[in-house]
Amino acid sequence: MTIKTGDRLPETTFVKAGPDGPDQVSSADFFKGRRVALFAVPGAFTPTCSARHLPGFIERKDELAAKGIDEVACTAVNDAFVLGAWSKANDAAGKVTMLADGNGEFARAVGLEMDGSAYGMGKRSQRYAMIVNDGVVEQVHVEQPGEFKVSSADHLIEQL
């Protein structure tokens, strides 16, 4: 079942690339007590994700903050080392928190997993963006396959 507005996020564990190596963080702890703009990409370093999705959130972070967003986070079914390298390559540190969903637990739990096996990518996350307020979904915008419209920073800012 796909997550929807008003649902509480399921309990899963993300991994962040920390200065001393991978750090695990529970979804409950990460989203507790704050409003987070969370966006998901099918994969770090992939064309649309690198050229448009991540850069939009980096560029518009301050506008999101002005609209009441405490943190911007990105999740992907990649490991923390890949997301750490992607963050570094895009100067995203301090702007977008990378939440690795290496085994796809979160993508499955929110019902937004996709099968990219035809492209050699295996199970991944669909492209989406959501606003999460204290662990509860305020908004969720899931892209149609092959599109990049409703999950962009621009669209999210318009909805806030």
Q: From CA 63, how far away is CA 83, in angstroms rounded?
A: 24
> Quick check: helix, strand or coil at residue 153?
helix
Measured distance CA(92)–CA(103) in Å, rounded: 23
E-assigned strand segments in the chain: 13-18, 21-26, 35-40, 71-76, 97-100, 113-115, 123-125, 128-133, 136-142
Instruction: Measure the CA–CA gap between 140 and 57, rounded to whole angstroms.
Output: 16
Alpha-carbon gap, residue 50 to 42, rounded angstroms = 11
Q: Which residues are catalytic?
A: 49
Amino acid identity of 2?
T
